[in-house]
Each structure stands twice: as structure tokens, then as C-alpha cells.
């Protein structure tokens, strides 16, 4: 797995802008799953509807941010990659907290969904932070 992660990171170093597209598409998928699927089938997942709505709003904001970065940012990627990365990390922490708080009412599919989301987003955070650090280092190296 580490080798695959390194290949992804090295590929993204040549096109860091693609991280924003990846993040935007992932956030859009999260909005769809939370708002359209889990909310409409809440009895199968167990998470209260209001929580699903709030989480989908947060994901929508992340989607807008990442889309704006993808379409409008022309350089200096690192601080913006770090920004969405830290936001994603906070989202994981929030989701983890909600998983603990609502554990008694969550169903097995609900627990599985939120654990999978946390794992996937943590993986993205790891990649984003590695790419941001490497992009910053390359920028620094080129200016010396």
C-alpha cells in the first residue's frame, strides 16, 4: 500500500491542481450520499436527519472551495492544499465524534459508511499534506 501511495503522491507532485479536483469530486459524492441516500434511508443507517443535513452542508462548502481552487488558482498551491487538508481533518474528527455520540442508534451499515468515509478522507489528508510539503519544498529549493 505504501508503494501505491508513493506513486500517487509522486504523480500529484507534477499536477498538484488535480488534488483540488479529486477533493471536489469526493466532496460532491459525500453530499450526494449524505443528503440523497443516507437521509432518505435514515432508518437503515441510524444517523439523525439533521446531522446528515449539516454534514452535507459542510461537504458542499468543501466542494465549492476545492472547485474554486481547481478553476481559478494558477499557482502557490501549497497553502490552499493545506487549507482543504486541515478542513478535511476537522471533518474526520467531527465525524468520529458523531460516530461515538450516535453509536447507540447507528446500524451496522451506518457505522460501516462513516468508518469508510473517515478512512478514505484520512487517506486523502495524508496525500494532500505530503504533496503540499513537497510542493513547498520544491518552491523553496527553486528560489535558493
pLDDT digits 0-9 by tens, 106-131: 999 999 999 999 999 999 999 999 99
Q: Do 125 and 3 touch, CB atoms closer than 8 A? A: no
In a domain, residue 143? The reply is no
Grade residue 142 by pLDDT with cuts at 50, 70 and 90. low
Residue 46 falls in which region: left (phi positive, over 0), alpha (psi -120 to 50) or beta: left
Q: Which of 25, 48, 26 is nearest to 110 (CA)?
A: 48
Grade residue 144 by pLDDT with cuts at 50, 70 and 90. very low
Q: CB under 8 Å to 105, separation ≥6 — which residues? A: 46, 47, 48
Residue range 136-141: mean pLDDT, rounded: 68
Q: Do 27 and 60 touch, CB atoms closer than 8 A? A: yes
Average pLDDT, the chain: 92
User: Is the predicted pLDDT of residue 97 greater than 90, yes or no?
Assistant: yes
Segments forming the whole domain that contains residue 37 = 2-138
The whole model's pTM is what? 0.90
Compute CA distances 23 → 40, 67, 107, whole Å. 24, 8, 28
Scan for cell 434511508, then name that residue: 41
Q: CB under 8 Å to 14, separation ≥6 — which residues? A: none
pLDDT digits 0-9 by tens, 61-80: 999 999 999 999 998 989 99
Task: Please provide residue 99's backbone torsions phi and psi, each rounded to the nearest 5 degrees.
Answer: -60, -40
In a domain, residue 144? The reply is no
Is 3 or 67 the better-scoring residue by pLDDT? 67
Specify the pLDDT at position 66: 98
Q: State how many domains the chain has.
A: 1
Grade residue 1 by pLDDT with cuts at 50, 70 and 90. low
Specify the pLDDT at position 140: 56
- Our measurement of the distance from residue 115's CA atom to the centroid of its chain's CA atoms, rounded to an integer in Å, reads 13
pLDDT digits 0-9 by tens, 35-45: 999 999 999 99
Q: Do 22 and 67 touch, CB atoms closer than 8 A? A: no
Amino acid at each position: 500500500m505504501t508503494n501505491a501511495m508513493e506513486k500517487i503522491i509522486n504523480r500529484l507532485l507534477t499536477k498538484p491542481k488535480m488534488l483540488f479536483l479529486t477533493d471536489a469530486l469526493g466532496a460532491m459524492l459525500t453530499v450526494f450520499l449524505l443528503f440523497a441516500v443516507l437521509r432518505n434511508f435514515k432508518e437503515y443507517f441510524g444517523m439523525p436527519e439533521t446531522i446528515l443535513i449539516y454534514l452535507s452542508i459542510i461537504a458542499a462548502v468543501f466542494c465549492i472551495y476545492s472547485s474554486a481552487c481547481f478553476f481559478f488558482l494558477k499557482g502557490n498551491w501549497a497553502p490552499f492544499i493545506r487549507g482543504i487538508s486541515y478542513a478535511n481533518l476537522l471533518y474526520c474528527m467531527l465525524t468520529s465524534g458523531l460516530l461515538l455520540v450516535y453509536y447507540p442508534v447507528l446500524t451496522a451499515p451506518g457505522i460501516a459508511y462513516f468508518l469508510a468515509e473517515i478512512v478514505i478522507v484520512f487517506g486523502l489528508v495524508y496525500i494532500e499534506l505530503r504533496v503540499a510539503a513537497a510542493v513547498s519544498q520544491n518552491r523553496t529549493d527553486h528560489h535558493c
